[in-house]
Structure 1
Amino acid sequence: MSQKNSVLRIHSKDNVIVALTDLSKGDVINYEGDTYVLTTDVPAKHKFASVDLNEGDLVYMYGVLVGMATQPVVKGEILHTHNLVHRAEEYGVEDGEKEEWKAPDFSRFEGKTFQGYHRADGKVGTQNNWLVIPLVFCENRNVTVIENTIVEQLGFGQKKETGFSVDKLVNIYQEGASEEDLLNTSIQIDKKEAKKNKLFPNVDGIQFLRHDGGCGGSTPDSVALCHLLAGYVNNPNVAGATVLSLGCQHAQAKIMQDALESFAKDHKKPLYVLTQQESTSERDFVEEAIKKTFIGLTKANEFVREPAPLSKLVIGLECGGSDGFSGISANPTLGYVSDLVVGLGGTTVLAEFPELNGVEQEMINRCVTKGIADKFSNIMSTYNEKAEFLGGGFHANPSPGNIKDGLITDAIKSAGAAKKGGSSPVTDVLDYTEQITKKGLNLLCTPGNDVESTTGLAGSGCNVILFTTGLGTPTGNPIVPVVKVSSNSKLFNKMNDIIDFNTGGVIEGDTLQKTGEELLEYVIKVASGEKTKAMQLGQNDFIPWKRGMSL
């Protein structure tokens, strides 16, 4: 991409052009041998028509159908919700020859390793965590009691430290401060260094997975929760778990244990399951849970970081708070990283099925077998039909923030989001909570909801998650490092307290190869123990997907 360009046509088939900078009505744009006189203002990230469009004409971007004009649009006019609605291509599964895929040059990374935790099943963790899991929301308080008892005392942090203090406000209020004085007084303080964990130095953290499920909702959602929690125990970033059950809930311990056995037959991770209704008192119940957790930590501490090949990376690919640049810079950068990792023999996982709406045919064509393609097609159609029955549909996916920053239809959003998956063949398609077992690019059914999706990626076995954002999204995961990647430099400079890596240089002229290789170098550091911004801030978000409730 040339640095001097103020606009970009992404694909030769496109009849829209993207503004890379703010453009004004009357601006004359000379681009690709044509001249465009803008009839409206076109803010950066938005699109204008490159030809006159009549009502009902189809609009293409990224080389795919992304919308339909609802009224006449003249060449040089902005495309927005007043003149564009969602449209997407039909898709189907057919047998056919597959083109041979060629990976990008990954010689720079051949022989490189990361420092990880080697598990008995051959997987390698980038973290070494112990889990405390409630099977039902009734146990959340007991989980909190355990956390408040052991986290600080064992040196895993100071949970009450927030980085803010109201002492100054109290003092100046008592001295008669005005409202303006109160607003202008800083209450930020330097966060104290967490007490160094000397007793269990090889344990990265104790993670507490509170949730509001397990009973009272649909039984299928409770069963899915059990499978999700089993997936978290099975994740290579986890050494073992303490599980708290009330006893009478839909999410029965046996369902979770059976799922874990199916995920990892003869798994060797310590798992302590305690049932409160079988205990003599709550105090005794919590006391036993604390003691068993302590014993589990002694076992987890036996693991140490050792070199592992990059083929052991299992990278989740996620986007949230997307903007009109996400599909040009950040998402294609992740796609390049995905292709590098797949070329090196590793695994990547593209989630968020509502954000593959409109690019289904491309994904189907990349599936290595017809059976895998059929599975993807069936999940997509069933999901969309259910969403429409509930009054939604994939077309309703873009958020107000997406639309404000240039993602006008779900097909535009999806065409850019799919770039995270690079160009490699699709080796497997997984429904929610199914475990990753095949190398290469996998597709995992999750909703577009950011945290529900990252929760699902971790539950299926990812050991690192790359998360692109164009607007800024403060989120993380309890067991998997989440690397936040910005689509533009303005965002990175404004919110670099929550964002790890900037791909804005791609908009300004850097190549995807350069940016992608730099990102993979950073991923290797994170996989070896370097903390991401989300980890530093303690952003441990965990939201199981209730499939009848979310899109």
Structure 2
Amino acid sequence: MNDIAPITDPSTPPTVALRLHPTDNVLVALRSLTAGAPLTEGLSAAEAINSGHKIAARPIAPGEPIVKYGQVIGAATAEIAPGALVHVHNLGMSDHQQDYGFATAATSLAPILDPATFMGYHRSSGRVGTRNYLGILTSVNCSGSVARFIAEAMARESLLEEFPNVDGIVPIVHGTGCGMSGRGEGFETLFRTLAGYGHHANFGGILLLGLGCEVMQIADLVDREALKDTARFRYMTIQQTGGTRATVERGSAILRELAAEANKATRAPAPASKLVLGMQCGGSDGYSGITANPALGVASDLLVRHGGTSILSETPEIYGAEHLLTRRAVDAPTGRKLIDLIDWWENYTARNDGEMDNNPSPGNKRGGLTTILEKSLGAVAKGGTAPLSGVYRYGEPIDQPGFVFMDSPGYDPCSVTGQVASGANLIAFTTGRGSVSGYQPVPSIKIASNLDLWQRMQPDMDVNCGEILEGTSLEAKGEEIFDLLLRVASGEKTKSEAQGFGAVEFVPWQIGAVM
């Protein structure tokens, strides 16, 4: 990534490389460098080095730990000279046994006595929505096309013009619901996900649509989850209704009734404690852990101080940094639940012929990241400094405020799907390489980690954290993010919403055999 012209003039005064912690033996290039370019501490670049990449701050012997953020991110696989690039050719994974120190560093944050408010949709459940959509939720992939046919029929009839308080119609389709066991981990995960969307506060009305013969039976969802508010929730199957055409006609009539009910909802003041923020990072780079992620961490802490909830996820992307979270757990059992998840993932990847260091992605590496240990240390910065108050399964309802963790893959759409199912009514998504996605029915703000990305993809980005490298404080940028979250929760559209994203990013986590 060449976001700033290479430094060639020895008299150039700006800082061009940064040591993040006094014990680090690498620096981070703040701009692209040519060989011989002067660095800090009397060093010069031994070769051309791209911005965001690591530079050896001193001689490093083969096998010696590489330290960044004051933490081990791997070990040298070859001798590394001062000023040389430290990356995939000379840095590999290493043992990373950690002292979990359960609950030894949990420090409560001072509550804000005059909490902020936003304008939201108050639901009978006590939760507050940030949007007011109609959803067509499918129990199985076999009903996905018909769900879209119903949405298309409503668009042709210009339904939303009649009901201005309804934000849109979201057909929620996926690729599973059958060809799976009717019990066990995979079934329960999908069940929680569908039930969570059925209850979500950002829906003013839901039509649950099945085929009729699938493993994920509509009757089970309705009976077990008590989705029986007929003013906001209806259900039907294609087989029982009489086929595709009859289902589209009946579904369209039902959706019109649901729209009339949803249109009665209006925004009203709500405390920030009703916000549930899902935090994600995707397309991360060498700056993500320095700018965007810690700035989001400041916003997360602010939300917690206002009595709200923030959710960190992507379990494979905290691997190697989990000890920073277990130390902040409110008690030892909460910290142990997190380590149980790490153990599950190690077993899960091993039995599927993978390994935890399959992550970072090629794009992450082009942006300066090398090992999962390095990526994870930057990723956990999204969680700020608040105590870890809970650990949840994928899609499990979040039932307490504060900073919490929800288990999920690192695959962004899948992870966000779980957070939404768990109750997130806002998403904050940091990125260094660039991400274009949205997550209806929940608005998502995009936070750029560097100036180059901001300049190249500004129509997709909501916040420029590249300004942190130009002197803006993390605290100021975190406050900016928090203020934007309040505005978006009150109805301001994000860049992804304005471009129409969110129709294809419902990706439930599929676990288990496909049969």
Q: Same fold (TM over 0.5)?
A: yes
Report the alpha carbon displacement of residue 88 of structure 1 after superposing the two structures with TM. Answer: 5.5
Alignment match, 2:6: none
- Asked whether the equivalents of residues 227 and 256 of structure 1 are also in contact (C-alpha less than 8 Å), the reply is no
Cα deviation code 1:494-544 (max 9, x no counterpart): 111111111110011110111111111111111111111111111112111
**1:439 is aligned to 2:446:** no
Q: Is the 8 A contact 2:207 2:234 kept in 1?
A: yes
The one of 462, 467, 483 equivalent to 1:521 is 483
Residue pair 2:283, 2:364 contacting (<8 A) in 1 also: yes
Work out the CA distance in 1 between the residues paired with 2:354 and 2:432: 25
User: Does the CA-based 8 Å contact 1:311-1:347 persist in structure 2?
Assistant: yes
For residue 185 of structure 1, what is the aligned residue in structure 2?
Answer: none
Q: Secondary structure at the match of 1:37?
A: coil
Separation in 2, partners of 1:229, 1:118: 21
Matching residue of 1:46: 53
1:543 equivalent in structure 2: 507
Amino acid at match of 1:234: H
1:153 is aligned to 2:163: no
Number of residue-to-residue matches in the alignment: 497
- Give the 5 Å matches for 1:124-163: 124-156=128-160
- In the alignment, is the contact (CA less than 8 A) between 1:103 and 1:339 conserved in 2? no
Cα 1:297/1:39, change in 2 over 3 Å: same
Amino acid at match of 2:54: K
Q: In structure 1, what is the equivalent of residue 456 of structure 2?
A: 494
Amino acid at match of 1:324: G
For 2:508, give the aligned amino acid.
P
> Do the aligned residues in 2 keep the contact of 1:92 with 1:377 (CA within 8 Å)?
no
Going from structure 1 to structure 2, the CA distance change for 1:494 and 1:259 (only over 3 Å counts) comes to: farther
User: Following the alignment from structure 2 to structure 1, what is the Cα–Cα distance between the partners of residues 173 and 19?
Assistant: 46
Cα displacement (A) at 1:459 = 1.1
Q: CA deviation at 1:548?
A: 5.0
Mapped partners of 2:181, 2:362: distance in 1 = 30
Equivalent position SS for 2:39:
strand
Q: What residue in structure 2 maps to residue 248 of structure 1?
A: 213
What CA distance in whole angstroms lies between the structure 1 residues aligned with 2:474 and 2:434?
21
Query: Does the 8 Å CA contact 2:450/2:464 hold for their aligned counterparts?
Result: yes
Distance 2:95 2:430 in 1: 24
Does the aligned pair in 1 maintain the 2:102–2:328 contact within 8 Å? Answer: no
Q: What residue number does 1:22 align with?
A: 32
CA 1:427–1:291 in 2, change beyond 3 Å: closer, same or farther? same
Describe the SS at the equivalent of 2:42. strand
**Cα displacement (A) at 1:391:** 1.5
In the alignment, structure 1 residue 237 sits paired with structure 2 residue 202: yes
Q: Following TM superposition, where does structure 1 have runs of at least 4 consecutive aligned residues deviating by more than 6 angstroms?
A: 266-269
Instruction: Tell me if the contact between 1:18 and 1:45 (Cα under 8 Å) persists in the aligned partners.
Output: yes
C-alpha displacement of 1:481: 0.1
Match of 2:178 in 1: 215
2:81 matched to 1:71? no
Contact 1:103/1:343 (<8 A) preserved: yes
Structure 2 residue aligned with 1:421: 383
Q: What is the rounded CA distance, in whole Å, between the counterparts of 1:469 and 1:281 in structure 2?
A: 44
How many angstroms does 1:77 deviate by?
A: 1.1
Deviation at 1:23, TM superposition (A): 1.6
Q: How far, CA to CA, are the matches of 1:388 and 1:124 in structure 2?
A: 41
Q: Distance in 2 between matches of 1:294 and 1:96?
A: 52
Match in the other structure for 2:241:
279
- Distance change in 2, residues 1:103/1:119 (3 Å): same
Q: 1:268: Cα distance to partner?
A: 7.6
Which of the residues 11, 29, 38 maps onto 2:21?
Answer: 11
**1:331 corresponding residue in structure 2:** 293
Shift of 1:97: 4.4
Pairing partner for 2:341 from 368, 379, 385: 379
- CA 1:401–1:236 in 2, change beyond 3 Å: closer, same or farther? same
Letter of the structure 1 residue corresponding to residue 321 of structure 2: V
Counterpart position of 1:56: 63
- Displacement after TM superposition at 1:101 (Å): 3.3
Tell me, yes or no, if the aligned pair for 2:389 and 2:404 is still in contact at 8 Å.
yes
Deviates further, 88-97 or 527-536: 88-97
- CA 1:86/1:255 → structure 2, altered by over 3 Å: closer, same or farther? farther
Structure-2 residue corresponding to 1:189: none
Segments of structure 2 that go 5 or more residues without pairing to the other structure are: 1-12
How far apart in 1 are the matches of 2:507 and 2:408? Answer: 12
Which residue in the other structure is 1:365 paired with? 327
SS of equivalent to 1:321: coil
Helix, strand or coil for the counterpart of 1:341? Answer: helix
Change (3 A) 1:206 1:61: same
Query: In 2, Cα distance between the equivalents of 1:101 and 1:88?
Result: 32
Deviation digits for residues 390-434 of structure 1 (CA, Å, limit 9, x no counterpart)? 121221111111001101111111111111000110000011111
Q: 1:393 to 1:407 in 2, by over 3 A?
A: same
**1:257 lines up with 2:256 in the alignment:** no
Local SS of the residue matching 1:324: coil
- Provide TM-score, normalisation by structure 2: 0.92
Q: Which deviations, in whole Å up to 9, do the C-alpha atoms of 1:216-254 show, x marking residues without a partner?
A: 245443442232111012221112310111111111113
C-alpha distance in structure 1 between counterparts of 2:402 and 2:335, whole Å = 15
Q: Which amino acid aligns with 2:334?
A: I
Contact 2:116 2:306 in 1 (8 A): no
Q: TM-score, normalised by structure 1?
A: 0.86
Task: Provide the alpha-carbon RMSD of the alignment.
Answer: 2.0
Distance 1:86 1:254, change over 3 A: farther
Structure 2 partner of 1:186: none
Q: 2:115 and 2:299 mapped to 1: Cα distance? A: 17
Structure-2 residue corresponding to 1:403:
365
Q: Contact conserved, 2:231 with 2:258, CA < 8 A, in 1?
A: no
Q: Tell me: CA distance 1:258–1:6, structure 2 relative to 1, closer, same or farther (3 Å).
A: farther
**Which of 100, 107, 120 in structure 2 is aligned with 1:116?**
120
Gaps of 5+ in 1: 157-196
Q: C-alpha distance in 1, partners of 2:270/2:308?
A: 12
* Closer, same or farther: CA 144–73 of 1 in aligned 2, 3 Å: same
